[in-house]
Amino acid sequence: MRVTMGTQDFFAGLWNNYVEVAPQAARIHQVFTARDERIVNDHVAFRTYDRYPLNIATLEPLILALGYRRHEPYEFADKGLSAWSYLPADPGDPRIFLSELRVDTLSLRARNIITGLAEQVDVATVNSSDVFRAGRLWTTPTWDAYQTLLSESEYAAWVSVMGLRPNHFTISVNALRHSPDLHDVVQILKAHGFPINASGGEIKGSPETLLEQASTLADRMMIEFADGDYHEVPTCYYEFALRYRDTDGQLYQGFVAASANRLFDSTRA
């Protein structure tokens, strides 16, 4: 039996949360809508720490309860990240990509900061899929603590201020009517002034890896840190994915670790 009830509300809630901190996404959506494009989400991605109750093991049942099933695990050794991808019960729904930072790869000082954030989380809030748009479930770190995290892991610093929320939505280039080529999509974005993540080249992956991706650079917003200082931090970005068919004619469903590794840089401070 398919369990698709609730995914429409789930993704609508995520989208509203996302465009609040990434207004570029609403503008890009408009650019493509104005071109009479059909916008379908390829995947939505989340970032977290491997500390209870924020870890994948705790969050995953909430994704499975939406009818999703586990697809593949991924490792990003140089960034200290592990991830899982999930496939929807309804093929019209986006895939979900959930990564977590292996906090033990950081220094004791950074570990202590993150443990302090995780300890503030009210476990009762981690019992429904609403938690994926809860944002920060702890008090804002100090600017000093943020800088400590940033010096070791851009990802660690990002989660400390942004909390649990979509890190990015991803437009399926396959579903576009008029721009079925990722190079064209990148040119449209540039023509409208959206900066593109050029880490490892504007287009990550190739037809040979069965997945090509590109992304904008994250928007930025002012955050009030615990000591009362305001500083600008990167928020969220928009991604684009073009999937190819394998030799059996099946559309590739996975992710390419080398490409994802570069896409993580879209929130570089």
Residue number with CB closer to Ni ion (7 or 261): 261
* Distant-in-sequence, close-in-space partners of 120: CB < 8 Å, separation ≥ 6: 137, 138, 139
Return the sign of the alpha-carbon dihedral for residues 198, 200, 202, 204: negative
Q: How far is the CB of 170 from Ni ion (least distance, A)?
A: 5
Q: Rounded distance, CA 32 to CA 172, Å?
A: 12
Q: Does 42 bind Ni ion (CB under 5 A)?
A: no
CA nearest to 49, candidates 83, 93, 86, 95? 83
Q: How far is the CB of 171 from Ni ion (least distance, A)?
A: 11
Residue number with CB closer to Ni ion (58 or 167): 167
* Distant-in-sequence, close-in-space partners of 121: CB < 8 Å, separation ≥ 6: 53, 54, 137, 138
Candidate ranges 29-37, 70-78, 184-192, 238-246; the one touching Ni ion (CB under 5 A) = 238-246
Q: Rounded distance, CA 238 to CA 46, Å?
A: 13
| Three-class SS of 158-192 | HHHHHCECEEEEEEEHHHCCCCCCHHHHHHHHHHC
Residue number with CB closer to Ni ion (28 or 110): 28
Residue number with CB closer to Ni ion (59 or 223): 59
Number of residues engaging Ni ion in binding (CB under 5 A): 2
Look up residue 228 and give its amino acid.
Answer: G
Q: Rounded distance, CA 125 to CA 123, Å?
A: 5
Q: Rounded distance, CA 230 to CA 220, Å?
A: 13
Q: How far is the CB of 99 from Ni ion (least distance, A)?
A: 10
Eight-state DSSP code of residue 136: -
Residue number with CB closer to Ni ion (126 or 182): 182
Q: Does 239 bind Ni ion (CB under 5 A)?
A: yes
Q: Does 45 bind Ni ion (CB under 5 A)?
A: yes
Candidate ranges 18-26, 82-90, 139-147, 231-239; the one touching Ni ion (CB under 5 A) = 231-239
Q: Which parts of 195-214 interact with Ni ion (CB under 5 A)?
A: none
What is the three-class DSSP state of 196? strand
Per the document, the length of the chain is 269
Residue number with CB closer to Ni ion (113 or 236): 236
Q: How far is the CB of 27 from Ni ion (least distance, A)?
A: 19
Q: Does 96 bind Ni ion (CB under 5 A)?
A: no
Which residue's structure tokens are 């009762």? 124
Residue number with CB closer to Ni ion (48 or 148): 48
118 near 204, Cβ under 8 Å?
no
Candidate ranges 40-48, 77-85, 189-197, 198-206; the one touching Ni ion (CB under 5 A) = 40-48
Q: How far is the CB of 226 from Ni ion (least distance, A)?
A: 30
Candidate ranges 86-94, 114-122, 133-141, 232-240; the one touching Ni ion (CB under 5 A) = 232-240
| Residues contributing to the site for Ni ion (CB under 5 A) | 45, 239
